[in-house]
Homo-oligomer: A and B are copies of this chain.
């Protein structure tokens, strides 16, 4: 029985075929006018994706490198920052901040818990003076989304000059992130998410004020992750260090493909409608969402029907169908699995996956009506209400 390897993880994600082709060829020399022209095309595509007018820093790192570059370039030891810690990646902001000697105030949330903007404002006021706010747009570990715009606005009501850095690594391409319009001082992204490119590239977009701050902070020791170097090189259509050339050519092709199929907004819409369909399927499969009140359009976290059984479901999907889901992370590992639906994922991918998940659950003895989960997702994709005629309980 043939089983195609399929990624339904929250990253890496399926590659765009044009990105595969572009990245598979020989690499040109990067200090050449031709490469500078291609880097400019990449920059134009990234500006559209992050909704900014300024060049971005393009780093040969994972997404964490972009987060660290933001902290190292925007803050100095002793600065007090409020960190929204809603899961593993929010906690990572806290770890990076601590590594740089920042005075971190954790705003800890339970997995899947939504966050009211007012709660952020209150925490900032209570901890005054606060110099920065570190946000996660889509907390990948729990499939929870946060309203970056509203949180930023609330923070600035409490502290008008507060510096806001956003981990938007799984968010860009799944939900709108307006770097300039929302005044986000730094926004971190990565190639292996909605960009449909292999891991190895990270991005930092900054609002105009963000770039000013980057220029004016110099006390933190930094070199490779110094955003000033990337800004200076980008002004000459270059990177300060050897770029990951093959990945950049793949990204150029993927950004072209995004542009040709309706732009970043169409990519966001695609993820959002797949996410809605995935959420519609869950109750029909007798499953609960981890973050029903604030679900991410990038990744859906689902509670296993029996606590502790999530790893077995992930393994069964891989063994029986070749489909790789994400398991839970940390304390959530036994109890949740996650379905990624960013980037190069389409309706038939999701419908097939849900049919497979249904089979795995039935195999495991969960009384389900075959077809119910797929039916609910298909109705959602077709813009219909969930099919009421299909019983969803045990047969």
Contact = CB atoms under 8 A, between A and B. Distances in A.
Interface of A: 1-4, 6, 21, 24, 261, 266-267, 269-270, 273, 321-323, 344-353, 355-356, 358-359, 362-363, 369-375, 377-379, 381-382, 387, 389-390, 395
Contacts of A353: 348, 352
A359 B346 contact: no
A370 B378 contact: yes
Contacts of A362: 382
One complex includes copies of this chain to the number of 2
Contact of A355 (B345, B374, B390): B374
A324 to B, nearest CB: 12
Nearest to A368: B375
B359 A266 contact: no
B1 A269 contact: yes
A389 B21 CA distance: 47
A362 B382 CA distance: 10
A355 B358 contact: no
Given A351-B351, A378-B359, A261 B371 contact: no
Given A1-B273, A269-B1, A355-B378, A348 B321 contact: yes
A264 to B, nearest CB: 13
A346 to B, nearest CB: 5
Contacts of A349: 4, 348, 352
A250 to B, nearest CB: 15
Given A1-B270, A273-B1, A371 B390 contact: yes
Residue of A2, A344, A349, A358 contacting most chain B CB atoms (<10 Å): A2
A270 to B, nearest CB: 5
A382 B1 CA distance: 12
A375 B370 contact: yes
B321 A347 contact: yes
Contacts of A372: 371
Nearest to A362: B382
Given A352-B351, A370-B387, A390-B369, A345 B2 contact: yes
Nearest to A372: B371
A351 B356 contact: yes
A272 to B, nearest CB: 11
B363 A356 contact: no
Residue of A21, A352, A389 contacting most chain B CB atoms (<10 Å): A352
A395 B259 CA distance: 41
Residue of A267, A358, A370, A371 contacting most chain B CB atoms (<10 Å): A371
